[in-house]
Amino acid sequence: MYPPSFDYAAPDDLDEALKLLELHNEDAKIMTGGVGLINAMKHHVIKPGFLIDISRIRELGLIGDHGGYLSIGAAVKVAELQRSDLVKRNYTALSEAAGAIADPLLRNMISVGGNVCTGNPDDDLPPVFLSMDAQYILAGRNGRRVIDADGFYLGHMSTAIRPGEILVEVRVPRQTERSGSAYIKRELRQNDHLVAGVAASISLEEDGRYKRLAFGLSGSGNTSIHARLPKFTGSRPVDVPVGDIAKMVVEEASPLSDRQGSASYKRKVILVLAREALTLALQRAEQGGQK
Amino acid sequence: MKISVNFNGRNVDADVEPRKLLVDFIRDDLHLTGTHVGCDTSSCGACTILLDGVAVKSCTMFAVQANNRNITTIEGLSKGDELHRLQSAFIEEGGLQCGYCTPGMIMTSAWLLSNNAAPTEKEIRNGISGNLCRCTGYDSIIRSIQKASSDRRGGRK
Ligand SMILES: Cc1cc2nc3c(=O)[nH]c(=O)nc-3n(C[C@H](O)[C@H](O)[C@H](O)COP(=O)(O)OP(=O)(O)OC[C@H]3O[C@@H](n4cnc5c(N)ncnc54)[C@H](O)[C@@H]3O)c2cc1C
Ligand code: FES
Ligand code: FES
């Protein structure tokens, strides 16, 4: 299977990439890992005339602790995100979601930017970024803008990226002392298409009450879903059964019936996953969270 | 587009169309036919190679993406007639039947062992989960990899 001919450039400098994008805008695609693009191009689903490969731009390949937030470059491979000790320790759900993507070989190829920018509601990183109130940094010829992950996913395969823009970085607010997170994905077989996935991200007050409680869902509707539950802020975890919270999470989901199961089956799966993810996140928060 | 790639320790300069898939460049232009094509859609791992030492699926890359990088294919593992210890182990443990998945399995295993010299069975099973085998049922493949990880004298390191 071959795509129609196209031109290709792999600049090692972001300004050069932005210039090329402006020049070829209508016809160009940004390529970071290439896994999504190449499969779509082989099937002639898209036929870009110009590919701008940004994987060689050094500044886009870094993960770092910037005090107030975790910074993840758009070209970071999801395998690196999965392996990073910093991410494992303080942003556990993110490491778990990265490790849930595809298989070990594809994780060496798929980038954070590609996973975030496709806008596929079944992808694993977006729900975690939503649950952690992440921000996406978009660069254009006229400078950068910051957009909340919450405002990024507009519809199925549709995002807030404007023509001429490149996602360069994801910022995840630093989790407090007593925070914890978890991501659990259910598949019928290993590496099969998902049934659904749930991310839970919480932080607790000094005295153990909920300070923040948020969920992100994959495979649960037209877009990646953010379920914030401010209602529980201030309650003590012992006073609100995990099952009650999970029921409210399911209310935010609108899964579709497909080969992975009926919508009502998926709702049950989401209920169970929400319970399990919250229980894990709570345990992690109570064990001290951020180190 | 002109590219320069190091294949199995040898520098190759070539002029390729950007849409040329890396696996086809390896098989059709370099005539290294050990790297196989199974699914052509990123699923089976028959096309696995090492890119700067890291296992990737060469059906899901264009050759131009490999410019100025190092590639190892199954042909690059043995040292002349001396087999790599993974190759010997696959023979000794019967880690193959038809052999279609084998080059990919071995390249993935080589990457796995380069990061983890003594993986557990679970780590091996997870590690090769991007490589499909239609014949063996995997058990003999797992045993082969275990053998290669414990038997360090069986071949080249
Ligand atoms: C066999 C298979 C299994 C998969 N399994 C999973 C899975 O389990 N979980 C999961 O989450 N995903 C899975 N995926 C999907 C995969 O994560 C997406 O296709 C992802 O887009 C691939 O990332 P990439 O870096 O290769 O993206 P690319 O192919 O480089 O790009 C994908 C899209 O994003 C755009 N883009 C990329 N980077 C940027 C940027 N920095 N700025 C603006 N736009 C950008 C591109 O223009 C393109 O439209 C799977 C894919 C395959 C083929
Ligand atoms: S041929 Fe590349 S993964 Fe199947
Ligand atoms: S030996 Fe036949 S596919 Fe693995």
Could you read off the pLDDT of B28-53 as tens digits, one per residue? Answer: 999 999 999 999 999 999 999 999 99
Please give the Cα distance from A112 to A107 (Å, whole number). Answer: 10
Query: Does the distance separating the beta carbons of B17 and A191 come in below 8 Å?
Result: no
The confidence band for B151, taking pLDDT boundaries of 50, 70 and 90, is low
Of A39, A55, A106, the CB nearest to B130: A106
Residue B131, ligand 3, Cβ within 6 A: no
pLDDT above 70 (res B156): no
Token representation of residue A102:
């595809």
Which residue in chain B is spatially nearest to A103 when comparing CA positions?
B130
Residues in chain B closer than 8 A to A11 (CB atoms): none
ipTM of the complex: 0.95
Query: Does the distance separating the beta carbons of A42 and B130 come in below 8 Å?
Result: no
Question: Above pLDDT 90, what percent of chain B?
Answer: 94
Question: How many CB atoms lie under 10 A from the CB of residue A66?
Answer: 10
pTM above 0.95, yes or no: yes
Give the model's pLDDT for residue A190: 84
Give the residue ranges of chain A where pLDDT is below 70.
Answer: 289-291
- Residue from B79, B40, B89, B44 nearest B60 by CA: B40
pLDDT above 80 (res B153): no
Query: Does the distance separating the beta carbons of B129 and A191 come in below 8 Å?
Result: yes
Chain centroid offset of residue B147 CA: 18
Ligand 3 atom showing the smallest separation from residue B99 Cα: 1
pLDDT tens, residue by residue, B97-107: 999 999 999 99
Ligand 1 atom showing the smallest separation from residue A40 Cα: 29
pLDDT above 80 (res B23): yes
The confidence band for B152, taking pLDDT boundaries of 50, 70 and 90, is low
Sequence ranges of the domains in chain B: 2-76, 85-153
Please give the Cα distance from B129 to B45 (Å, whole number). Answer: 9
Give the model's pLDDT for residue B157: 39
Fill in the DSSP letter of residue A77: B
CATH architecture of the domain with range B2-76: Roll (3.10)
Give the model's pLDDT for residue A67: 85
Please state which CATH class domain B85-153 belongs to. Answer: mainly alpha
